């Protein structure tokens, strides 16, 4: 019984709102006021693909350096990564996830890096200017994955 009572109350409220809205519309029409709807057009923005399947890392190399003047036990990684686009979209920017692991295979640090550059369909992009500072000295290898990529026009 309670359900029917609430249903009746909600139905009455809905009818009241519809009738009040129609009467306000008629008042505006009687005053010759026309409501104008304006639609603004925005410039097209890029679309971000999360974990894109069209992009593959085909080669990933690293070289390690340590600053002998530095008192801290950290190293610098210099990356050379080649990415291939096997799909049909044009990518203009992408984010890499760089996971550094120690000799036993355990992760010791995870970093992200943004790569700008056009990656056309069926094309490759070679990135050799990635330098990551302040890594733990126990890092001995790394795994690279593509987190996201922006589709271009």
Is the residue at 109 inside a domain?
yes
What does the pLDDT average to over 50-67?
91
Domain that holds residue 117: 47-151
- In the three-class reduction of DSSP (H, G, I as helix; E, B as strand; rest coil), residue 78 is classed as strand
pLDDT at residue 131 in the model: 93
Q: How far apart are CA 85 and CA 152, in angstroms?
A: 13
**String of b and e for 77-98 (b: at least 16 CB within 10 Å)?**
bebebebbbebebebebbbbeb
Residue 33 domain-assigned (yes or no): no
pLDDT in tens, 26-35: 887 777 766 6
> pTM for the complete prediction?
0.66
pLDDT exceeds cutoff 90 at 89: no
- Does residue 28 fall inside a structural domain? no
The tally of domains found in the chain comes to: 1
CATH number at residue 52: 2.60.40.10
- Cα distances from 75 to residues 61, 100, 103, 113, 124, in angstroms, run 16, 12, 15, 17, 29
pLDDT digits (tens, 9 = 90+) for 116-130: 988 999 999 999 989
Q: How far apart are CA 47 and CA 45, in angstroms?
A: 7
* Residue 131: inside a domain: yes
Q: Per-residue pLDDT tens for 15-56?
A: 999 999 888 888 877 777 666 767 776 676 678 889 999 999
């Amino acid at each position: 019984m309670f359900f029917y009572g609430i249903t009746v109350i909600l139905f009455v409220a809905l009818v009241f709102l519809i009738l009040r809205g129609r009467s306000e519309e008629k008042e505006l029409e009687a005053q010759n006021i026309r409501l104008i709807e304006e639609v603004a057009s925005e410039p097209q923005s890029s679309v971000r693909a999360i974990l894109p399947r069209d992009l593959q890392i085909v080669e990933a190399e690293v070289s390690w350096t340590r600053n002998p003047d530095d008192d801290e036990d950290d190293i610098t990684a210099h990356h050379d990564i080649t990415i291939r686009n096997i799909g049909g979209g044009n990518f203009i920017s992408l984010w890499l996830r760089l996971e550094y692991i120690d000799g036993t295979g355990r992760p010791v640090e995870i970093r992200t890096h943004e790569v700008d550059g056009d990656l056309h369909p069926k094309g490759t992009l070679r990135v050799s200017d990635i330098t990551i500072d302040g890594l733990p000295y126990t890092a001995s290898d790394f795994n690279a994955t593509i987190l996201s990529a922006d589709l271009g026009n």
